[in-house]
Copies of this chain bind each other. A is one copy, B any other.
């Protein structure tokens, strides 16, 4: 107690959410670069493309036919928007990001560098001679409002239907969202996560780094999955899973501890077998 009484008088910031307050504090001290409205003369914007007021389109951006982009967009440089893509207001795209044909992005979407939205899904049909026939990937990738995708991640377009990232979801670097998958609202996919085709991830989930999911799997809302876990079947929500193949987190902790005792257990079973043999011959 005395320690507190000895403290000099201090100003204190009290908050029920210190991490959020920390975020706001950074905003007082750091100004990221701002990009004033204007179209750089080297930017190529197709005649039929529509870009709303207040846009900054930097050097060597390329916006193809029939694209629509809302107000206050920033396209940093070397951004490529393929034909027919539709993008909402307050779009921010860092250098070298790519939005493929017919994809649809909501408002306040942020793409970090090198992101590929709507690249072809990995779909091939086997032919009688063992070769693979490429399946057209006809469906767009759709990013709802407030989605951010970080550097060099790939959200593939769908074979048919769509790939959808729901509002407020955040995707870290080098993540793969396979064709026809759906990621729920406010879900976080951490670095190097991979979702095979047609995975459905619920809302408010966290998939930690390097988690992989099989295809055609459904993961309930508010699911937490430990780093490097592998998801082989549907998972109920509101639960914490770990391991590859993943199991309930508490089970996994017990398994990991047990695994380290296995060599010892083997020895004890051998000893028991010897003891039992002795008892039998008594």
Which positions in A face B, CB cutoff 8 Å?
17, 19-20, 22-23, 26-27, 29-30, 32-33, 42, 44, 58-60, 62, 76-78, 80, 82-84, 94-96, 98, 100-101, 110, 112-114, 116, 119-120, 122-128, 130-136, 138, 146, 148, 150-152, 154, 156, 159-160, 168, 170, 172-174, 176, 178, 186, 188, 190-192, 194, 196, 204, 208-210, 212, 214, 227-228, 230, 244-245, 247, 251, 254-263, 265-266, 268-269, 272-273, 275-276, 279-280
Contacts and interface: CB of A to CB of B under 8 A. Distances in A.
Nearest to A204: B130
Contacts of A190: 122, 196
Contacts of A126: 17, 19-20
Contacts of A29: 138
Contacts of A268: 269, 273
A231 to B, nearest CB: 9
Given A96-B96, A119-B173, A273-B268, A260 B251 contact: yes
